[in-house]
Amino acid sequence: MSHVITLEDAVARIPDGASLMIGGFMGVGTPPRLIDELVHQKKSNLTIIANDTARPGNGIGKLVEAGLVAKVITSHIGTNPMTQQKMIAGEIDVELVPQGTLAERIRAAGHGLGAVVTPTGVGTPAQDGQETVTIDGKTFILAKPIKADFALLNAKMADYLGNLVYNLTARNFNPVMALAAETVIAEVQTIVPTGALAPDLIATPHVLVDYLVAKEQSNG
């Protein structure tokens, strides 16, 4: 059963130097309050594993702008000139991974696979430093699993057990990242009673989720 904790407590559990998988695509499906609290608590020397680094002032871009990121493992940084500048200046180590390969490497970690083999990137800079194998006369990159200390997810709804439902494209990377991290923290908009969620809506089962951060209540 997942535990409902405060935003501050959730982020306090993340040490400096942690590796964080952050779900979403261009900020959609990324947990905004967890991101803001990471900045507020000035968590530093972070390794971020994500599809992208969003834009300056948006999503993961806030972590980059605050100087909290030491390394990024991502599929592209083209929408965030600040990430590009910091990479060129040697302030951030950037490992670029083709998008499908990134998802598969994360899935491999979650499913206990030793690696995935892919032809994507063969003969390009994506092959540099990678092991290759030959199958039926064709060369494949042997892409090793990626795991993390924490996965920070954004879900539309959860029950008190921690079963998660995502909204439309917010499913991008969130479910697969829930499989590949030691600790899973989900920021949710709404928590409903256990049993209220239709089983076929649940994309991440509660056994994978350690902590829920509920949306703050507001009046007026």
Write down all domains in the chain, each with its CATH number in brackets.
3-120+128-214 (3.40.1080.10)
Tell me which amino acid residue 190 is. T
DSSP 8-state class, residue 82:
H
Question: What's the whole-model pTM score?
Answer: 0.92
Can you tell me which residue has the tokens 């032809």?
Answer: 119
DSSP string across 153-219? EEEEEEETT--EE--GGGGSSHHHHTTSEEEEEEEEEEEE-TT-S-GGG-SB-GGG--EEEEPPP--
Flag whether pLDDT at 220 surpasses 60. no
pLDDT in tens, 166-185: 988 888 899 999 999 999 99
pLDDT in tens, 64-102: 999 999 999 999 998 999 999 999 999 999 999 999 999
Return mean pLDDT, the chain: 92
Better-scored residue on pLDDT, 2 or 210: 210
Better-scored residue on pLDDT, 127 or 112: 112
Tell me which amino acid residue 183 is. T
Flag whether pLDDT at 25 surpasses 90. no
Q: What region does 109 belong to: left with phi over 0, alpha with psi -120 to 50, or beta?
A: alpha
